[in-house]
A and B are shown apart, each in its own frame.
Chain A
Amino acid sequence: MKTLVISLKIFLFFTILTGIIYPLLVTGITQVILPSKANGSLIIRGGKKVGSELIGQQFNSPLYFSSRPSAVSYNPLPSGGSNFGLTNMKLKKIADSCEKQFIAFNQLDSRTEIPSEMIFASASGLDPHISPGAALLQVDRITEARRFNAIQKQKLVQCIKVLTEPPQFLCLGEERINVLLLNLATDQIK
């Protein structure tokens, strides 16, 4: 009986401490010093929220750089991957069709090596990045769709260079480019 009473009291005490005070403390501090990040790194253009820098969006228009295939079509409710094993026939079919589609959509030579993130779905289904190589393969198609001249095309390639993020602190993670930021920059090219 004594154990039960102490258990209850300790449980209540820790619920208040770690379940209420701790998250509120972290929320309070971060809302003051890092409000934008704590609230989802939202991007606002012309007074409207156009997305989060961290959450990928579906891009299939010829005017935009395509994002990776996604098992949830970039709908974050809920996030997730395909969970297909490598010997799953469906995975093979989807990967093959993504490869063909990417080649046809960007009018590439059929022998072009496609970066593998463009044929395989991400883990979260919300991956905001692709590799810079995958972006460069799409430049000609976007130039044509947007009727860009040579100077504008140069600017487009420049955008890719500027927005490419190197591995963090030179050694962590992979070289990558944020597709949403890249497409926002593309829209700015005049």
Chain B
Amino acid sequence: MTTQDVIQVILYFALLIGLTPILGNYMFKVFSGQKHFMLPVLGWLEKLTYKITGVDSGEETNWKSYTFGLIMFSFIGFVFVYLIQVFQAHLPLNPANLPNVSWHSAFNTSVSFMTNTNWQGYAGETTLSYFVQMIGLTVQNFVSAAAGIAVLLALIRGIARKTTDKLGNFWVDLTRSTLYLLLPLSILFALVLVGQGVVQNFKHYETVQTLQGAQQVIPMGPAASQIAIKQLGTNGGGFFNANSAHPFENPTPFSNFLEMLAILLIPAALTFTYGKMVGSKRQGWTIFSAMLILLIAGLSISLYAEYSTNPIFGHFHLMEGKETRFGITNSILWATATTSASNGSVNAMHDSLSPIAGMIAMVNLMLGEIIFGGVGSGLYGMVIFIIITVFIAGLMVGRTPEYLGKKIEAFEVQMAIIAILLPNLVIQLFSAWASVSNVGLSSLNNAGPHGFSEILYAYSSAAGNNGSAFAGLNANTVFYNLTIGIGMLIGRFGVIIPVMAIAGSMVKKKITPLSAGTFRTDNGLFIGLLIAVILIVGGLTHFPALALGPVVEHLLMNSGITF
């Protein structure tokens, strides 16, 4: 690594930390219904939304209605995206004359975008029309992110309010997240991206004659508008197959820097919003710190692995699957950020990362996408781990565990355990199934332990709603499209429903005032405990599987063995 590499990394974290309170405070105002500077600009649009759709913005509901609204809304999105894919050839805006999408690929893709995963078994430029990308996928990029924020808001209200059953209005939370947060940021970001060279048009694919006289067909499309939201909304689904490694999605180091920042921007800022909404900024910064420590630890290990030499390639820097304009540091910084947040966009091919860097990416997925994590989903996932931590701490000192004045009782702990176990079950069971069946094994691009890593990565990505891949795996088969699709559904709703149940249970409780005997959840000791619990619960679950994949591959690589 050079000094310049270090400067880039420091600049990245400095901006992330600096923007957290600014955006976090803005979101606090938006979500708690206070006055903010976008209200005069877009307030009319919010009112118009409620008027047209018949939403009563003053009405608040309990956890069951809130969750039911979310599930119904998600289901409609799923059906719509499914239908426009399987009838794509008969719909407009299809200049490349792409045929209808197969039923299993359409199922996978619609689940994928509805669950904020954006796993892609298909290649955008050769599979989907502009119509599907824009009217189907771009919309889901917005609303699946907004739905994640809505669940978080309900959980926060569950913690902050007392002795009621009202958790807010799903439609209002959805609308405000979209109108005041995601839409303005996306418009701004899309314009900057086009300024760097990202395409935004509805033209036919261009045929050019290259300097050597060959023909090259260059795909086009409304890419910038989709890329802006796929980065900001931790969606990650590329317009083109190579995702943000494609020069039309990410043309310059500056566009790369901004896209990387956009990955973590909202999830990081939400920790500040959280602190303000529960009435203690320190609580927010505590969570932020735990996340940042885990992120930097992962990044350091990955960078060390990538800059180490190995007997197979000797002194060569590992540029396989990386772009010249980004180099190694930016590729690894991106890989760490995108797997920590449940974004899943890539600017380098994770399949070709060194085994240990690939393992760190996988661990980030397996921990449940809580190191900043998805928009909304990262933080509610983190609160699950906080509940477990508080519970374990309570067991150790022999007191009833409390979090922010709310008693943590059997029901909350049971729900938290379900939310942790379900995604982990997906990873373990489906990976095991795929690695002993012909339908699973025939899709591999690599032999030896790396082949197993491809499978393990796929289901970790599905369960964590991440969407990145060891992309050598040919996942566009009936087997993978269905199992990964089911994995994504469990990874999303298997966490959301228990989280909402916790919110519904906590909101009814009284708030116990702070006393000298209260176990503090806003200091260094708690950060340490929380990190330990995350690593023990999340990490050890998967250690045996990781040992069979990246760990053994690393050891074999260092002995110069290839497959």
In whole angstroms, how far apart are the Cα atoms of A14 and B55 in the complex? 14
In the complex, which of the residues A10, A25, A74, A113 contacts B171, with contact meaning CB atoms closer than 8 Å? A10
Q: Is the CB–CB distance between B322 and A123 below 8 Å?
A: yes
Complex contacts, B203 vs chain A, CB 8 Å? 39
Q: Is the CB–CB distance between B200 and A27 below 8 Å?
A: yes
Q: Is the CB–CB distance between A95 and B349 below 8 Å?
A: no
Does residue B296 face the partner (Cβ distance < 8 Å to A)?
A: no
Minimum Cβ distance to chain B for residue A93 (Å): 9
Minimum Cβ distance to chain B for residue A32 (Å): 11
1/0 contact string of A124-157 vs chain B (CB within 8 Å): 1111111100000000000000000000000000
Complex contacts, B248 vs chain A, CB 8 Å? 40, 54-55
In whole angstroms, how far apart are the Cα atoms of A174 and B253 in the complex? 8
Does residue B194 face the partner (Cβ distance < 8 Å to A)?
A: yes
Chain B interface extent, by class:
35 or more
Chain A interface extent, by class:
35 or more
Minimum Cβ distance to chain B for residue A49 (Å): 4
Q: Is the CB–CB distance between A30 and B210 below 8 Å?
A: no
Q: Is the CB–CB distance between B355 and A86 below 8 Å?
A: yes
Does residue B186 face the partner (Cβ distance < 8 Å to A)?
A: yes
Minimum Cβ distance to chain A for residue B334 (Å): 11
In the complex, which of the residues A18, A81, A86, A187 contacts B138, with contact meaning CB atoms closer than 8 Å? A18
1/0 contact string of B246-261 vs chain A (CB within 8 Å): 1110011110110000
1/0 contact string of A158-190 vs chain B (CB within 8 Å): 000000000111011110100010011001000
Does residue B496 face the partner (Cβ distance < 8 Å to A)?
A: no
Complex contacts, B468 vs chain A, CB 8 Å? none
> CB within 8 Å of B: which of A24-49?
25-27, 29-31, 34, 37-42, 48-49
Complex contacts, B325 vs chain A, CB 8 Å? 127, 129, 173-174, 176
Q: Is the CB–CB distance between B190 and A26 below 8 Å?
A: yes
Q: Is the CB–CB distance between B242 and A125 below 8 Å?
A: yes
Does residue B220 face the partner (Cβ distance < 8 Å to A)?
A: yes
1/0 contact string of A75-95 vs chain B (CB within 8 Å): 111111111111111011001
Complex contacts, B240 vs chain A, CB 8 Å? 78-79
In the complex, which of the residues A4, A57, A86, A128 contacts B354, with contact meaning CB atoms closer than 8 Å? A86
Does residue B400 face the partner (Cβ distance < 8 Å to A)?
A: no
Does residue B76 face the partner (Cβ distance < 8 Å to A)?
A: yes
Minimum Cβ distance to chain A for residue B92 (Å): 12
Q: Is the CB–CB distance between A37 and B453 below 8 Å?
A: no
Q: Is the CB–CB distance between A51 and B191 below 8 Å?
A: no
> CB within 8 Å of A: which of B142-193?
142-143, 171, 174-175, 178, 183, 186-187, 190-191
Q: Which residues of B contact A (CB under 8 A)?
A: 4, 7-8, 11, 49, 52-55, 65, 68-69, 72-73, 76-77, 80, 123-126, 134-136, 138-139, 141-143, 171, 174-175, 178, 183, 186-187, 190-191, 194-203, 205-212, 214, 216-220, 222, 224-226, 228-229, 240-242, 245-248, 251-254, 256-257, 310, 312-313, 315-327, 330-331, 346-349, 351-352, 354-355, 358, 445-450, 453, 470-472, 553, 556-557, 561-563
Ranked nearest first, the 4 interchain pairs of A and B with the lowest CB-CB distance are: A173-B253, A83-B472, A123-B245, A85-B450
- Knowing that A91-B320, A122-B324 touch, tell me 5 more A-B residue pairs with CB under 8 angstroms: A6-B54, A77-B217, A84-B352, A116-B319, A172-B254
> Could you pull out 10 A-B pairs where Cβ atoms are within 8 angstroms?
A6-B54, A6-B69, A31-B200, A81-B352, A84-B352, A85-B470, A86-B310, A120-B319, A122-B324, A123-B347
Q: Which residues of A contact B (CB under 8 A)?
A: 3-11, 13-15, 17-20, 22-23, 25-27, 29-31, 34, 37-42, 48-61, 64, 68, 74-89, 91-92, 95, 113, 116-117, 119-131, 167-169, 171-174, 176, 180, 183-184, 187
